[in-house]
């Protein structure tokens, strides 16, 4: 990580000028686009004529060619062989999830739906069209279910199991081998992997198609920062058995339609052809090609990004865990899963979810933390973060309590931070490829200064400037007193890290 850090500082200066003076810690919401990507895209747009795909004109052909090239490149990015996988461009991960649901919903006998507790709201919604559904409240329930023998009747029903590769709430990563195990052990059961949060820093390898999920949904803006576009990667067998059988057809997905006296149509053959309704977001797909180029130039492989960002998150996690008020009360309650570890990227992504306590043990409201962060140009996320099961679990709300909160006026995204003295949401920081150690240090300084000291210290930006000055050997203001204060700060807040960087 030491060697990666200086490179990041340089990348930050060149490619992310808009980050000057800002500490951005919401990569799980959206990661950030580099300037080169935007310039190359603009240049490409300004010098080429892109027409609506699927006509014979050169402008149309150019768009079609680009779309197909980018489609193949994305499959390659995931080591997904086109013999076994197809890629459908959709608006975002949610649209991909909904496309899968549409296929299952149109099956004659419906479907059973199982989903993991950590699921994003967009995955939970799939239950509404199912004939029966089950929320798995922990991993053990999932593995027991996978190993269990089912009745012939259960086996004959079509089933869909969905889970997030990474929780968008606390960054906990789920086992990726469930998909292969389910294919072997559970007849008629398909798997949907929500990789939207995971892919911001994680690496997905679909080279073993036998063990791969049937469906993978993702949003490209969470990987590359731009464009606003998503994809559904479909294992071809599942595509043919389920989703291409959906009833609806949109423009471009059919070979012929009769509409006047006979309701008849014939669908196109390839999976993506019969699912991409209407005009593709082809300009966005052109941008995606540039996004992949720039990402490779700046960061190399996602594997490097995964290791680097988890290293940063580990520092944040450890410092926040150890932070104490002067009376010994822990400042942060951190919602890390007990099985997850910031030393192991198969169990944890670079996200930290927490709440803050006052010295008397009572809570600081999550939206108060966000407001204070905003005042310090720190961008983070707070609330229920679209993860109803995960948040209810870590905050120990049962459905009776949640319903009561709702009846008393609480709803997602509002400022009812505490109900009956208990937090209703969390504060979340999340890192991305272009995050730096300085982002983490500033954040830690913010927490310590705002919540641990009693507010009688100078602002953290001034403090940092001072720290930087002091880091130079010939700093003119080096009095005994501030040397001592700074040393304490360095030790308490930024530790060895700042000095090393």
Ligand X SMILES: *Cc1c(COP(=O)(O)O)cnc(C)c1O
Residues annotated as catalytic are 386
Query: Which has the closest alpha carbon to 228: 402, 83, 89?
Result: 89
Retrieve residue 310's tokens.
């988890």
Q: Decide: is 93 part of the binding site for ligand X (CB under 6 A).
A: yes
Q: Decide: is 94 part of the binding site for ligand X (CB under 6 A).
A: yes
Q: Decide: is 31 part of the binding site for ligand X (CB under 6 A).
A: no
Helical segments of 29-88, H only: 35-47, 58-77
Q: Decide: is 173 part of the binding site for ligand X (CB under 6 A).
A: no
Q: Decide: is 122 part of the binding site for ligand X (CB under 6 A).
A: yes
Nearest approach, Cβ of 122 to ligand X (angstroms)? 5
Segment interacting with ligand X, rule: CB under 6 A, options 92-100, 288-296, 335-343, 356-364? 92-100
Nearest approach, Cβ of 325 to ligand X (angstroms)? 33
Query: Which has the closest alpha carbon to 233: 105, 75, 115?
Result: 75
Q: CB count, 10 Å around CB of 382?
A: 23
Give the binding-site size for ligand X (rule: CB under 6 A).
12
With CB under 6 A as the contact rule, the residue among 23, 64, 92, 170 that binds ligand X is 92
Q: Which is nearer to ligand X, 75 or 99 (CB)?
A: 99
Q: Decide: is 430 part of the binding site for ligand X (CB under 6 A).
A: no
Output the CA–CA distances (angstroms, integers) from residue 58 to 51, 81, 278, 376, in the order listed: 8, 29, 20, 52
Q: Decide: is 170 part of the binding site for ligand X (CB under 6 A).
A: no
- What is the contact mask toward ligand X in residues 451 to 490, using x (rule: CB under 6 A)? ----------------------------------------
Q: Are strands 230-235 and 215-219 parallel, antiparallel or unpaired?
A: antiparallel
Q: Decide: is 174 part of the binding site for ligand X (CB under 6 A).
A: no
Q: Which is nearer to ligand X, 224 or 446 (CB)?
A: 224
- Are 456 and 462 in contact by the 8 Å Cβ rule? The answer is no
- Pairwise CA distance, residues 333 & 153, whole Å: 46
Retrieve residue 12's tokens.
């930050």
Query: Which has the closest alpha carbon to 169: 124, 103, 119?
Result: 119
Nearest approach, Cβ of 194 to ligand X (angstroms)? 5
Q: Decide: is 201 part of the binding site for ligand X (CB under 6 A).
A: no
Question: Can you give 131-167 as a three-state secondary structure string?
Answer: CEEEEECCHHHHHHHHHCCCCHHHHHCCEEEEEECEC
Q: Which is nearer to ligand X, 75 or 196 (CB)?
A: 196
| Residues contacting 195, CB < 8 A, separation 6+ | 93, 164, 165, 166, 202, 204, 216, 217, 218
Q: Which is nearer to ligand X, 15 or 194 (CB)?
A: 194
Nearest approach, Cβ of 219 to ligand X (angstroms)? 4
**477: helix, strand or coil:** coil
**234: helix, strand or coil:** strand
Q: Decide: is 223 part of the binding site for ligand X (CB under 6 A).
A: no
Segment interacting with ligand X, rule: CB under 6 A, options 48-56, 87-95, 322-330, 337-345? 87-95
Q: Which is nearer to ligand X, 194 or 276 (CB)?
A: 194
Window 181 to 200, contacts with ligand X (CB under 6 A):
194, 196-197
Q: Which residues pair with 232 in a beta bridge?
A: 88, 217
Q: Decide: is 355 part of the binding site for ligand X (CB under 6 A).
A: no
Nearest approach, Cβ of 438 to ligand X (angstroms)? 25
Q: Which residues contribute to the site for ligand X (CB under 6 A)?
A: 92-94, 120, 122, 164, 168, 194, 196-197, 219, 230
């Amino acid at each position: 990580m030491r060697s990666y850090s200086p490179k990041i500082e340089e990348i930050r200066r060149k490619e992310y000028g808009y980050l000057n003076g800002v500490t951005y810690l919401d990569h799980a919401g959206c990661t950030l686009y580099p300037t080169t990507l935007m310039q190359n895209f603009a240049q490409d747009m300004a010098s080429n004529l892109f027409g609506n795909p699927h006509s014979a004109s050169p402008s149309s052909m150019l768009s079609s060619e680009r779309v197909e090239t980018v489609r193949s490149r994305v499959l390659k990015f995931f080591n997904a062989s086109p013999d076994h996988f197809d890629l459908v461009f959709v608006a975002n991960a949610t649209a991909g999830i909904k496309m899968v649901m549409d296929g299952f919903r149109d099956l004659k006998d419906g479907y059973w739906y199982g989903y993991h507790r950590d699921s994003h709201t967009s995955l939970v919604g799939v239950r509404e069209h199912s004939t029966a559904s089950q929320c798995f409240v922990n991993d053990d329930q999932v593995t027991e279910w996978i190993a269990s023998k089912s009745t012939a009747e259960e086996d004959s029903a079509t089933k869909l199991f969905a889970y997030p590769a990474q929780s968008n709430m606390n960054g906990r990563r789920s086992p990726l081998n469930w998909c292969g195990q389910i294919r072997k052990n559970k007849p008629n059961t398909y798997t949907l992997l929500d990789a939207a949060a995971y892919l911001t820093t994680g690496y997905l390898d679909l080279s073993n198609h036998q063990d791969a999920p049937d469906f993978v949904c993702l949003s490209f803006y969470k990987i590359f920062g731009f464009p606003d576009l998503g994809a559904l990667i479909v294992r071809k067998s599942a595509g043919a058995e389920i989703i291409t059988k959906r009833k609806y057809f949109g423009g471009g997905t059919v070979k012929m339609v009769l509409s006047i006296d006979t309701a008849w149509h014939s669908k196109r053959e390839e999976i993506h052809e019969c699912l991409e309704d209407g005009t593709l977001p082809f300009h966005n797909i052109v941008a995606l090609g540039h996004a992949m180029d720039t990402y490779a130039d700046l960061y190399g492989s996602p594997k490097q990004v995964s290791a680097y960002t988890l290293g940063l998150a580990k520092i944040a996690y450890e410092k926040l865990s150890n932070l104490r008020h002067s009376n010994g009360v822990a400042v942060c309650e951190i919602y890390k899963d007990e099985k997850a570890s910031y030393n192991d990227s198969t169990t944890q992504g670079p996200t930290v979810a927490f709440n803050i306590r006052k010295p008397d043990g009572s809570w600081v409201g999550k939206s108060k933390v966000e407001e204070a962060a905003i005042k310090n140009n720190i961008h983070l996320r707070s609330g229920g973060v679209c993860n109803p099961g995960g948040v209810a679990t870590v905050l120990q709300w049962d459905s009776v309590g949640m319903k009561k909160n709702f009846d008393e006026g609480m709803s997602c995204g509002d400022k009812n931070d505490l109900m009956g003295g208990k937090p209703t949401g969390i504060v979340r920081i999340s890192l991305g490829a272009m995050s730096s150690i300085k982002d983490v240090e500033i954040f830690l300084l913010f927490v310590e200064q705002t919540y641990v000291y009693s507010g009688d210290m100078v602002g953290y930006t001034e403090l940092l400037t001072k720290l930087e000055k002091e880091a130079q050997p010939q700093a003119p203001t080096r009095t005994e007193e501030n040397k001592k204060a700074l040393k304490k700060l360095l030790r308490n807040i930024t530790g060895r890290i700042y000095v090393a960087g």
